Amino acid sequence: MAVTIYILCILTSLACTWLLFGSYRRTRYRLLFWSGACFAVMTLNNLFLLLDKIVFPSIDFLPARLISALVATLLLLYGLIYEKE
């Protein structure tokens, strides 16, 4: 059951990334770019979670998960603060 949920989280983040970057290509609204970049890193974060909990439980992926979550948050924060429309 956990594997299904982790995979659905990865697919949902990937779908959000795809939709946000697609909207950015059409409108060139910069906040969509930063949101898409945030969700791209969140997809990577969800992949690290799957690897940590299911695929390689003996290897500690916690530092990679924490760093990717921080990078995703900083990307969105940068977009929210510095992009003006």
Instruction: Give me the number of domains the chain comprises.
Output: 1
Domain extent, residue 32, equals: 2-82
Q: Give the pLDDT confidence of 11-20 residue by residue, as tens digits.
A: 999 999 999 9
Phi-psi region for residue 60, left (φ > 0), alpha (ψ -120 to 50) or beta?
beta
**pLDDT at 66 (0 to 100):** 97
Confidence check: pLDDT of 45 > 70: yes
**pTM, two decimal places:** 0.92
Confidence check: pLDDT of 84 > 80: no
Torsion over CA: 1, 54, 20, 73 (sign): positive
**pLDDT at 34 (0 to 100):** 97
Confidence check: pLDDT of 85 > 90: no
pLDDT category, 7, cuts 50, 70, 90?
A: very high
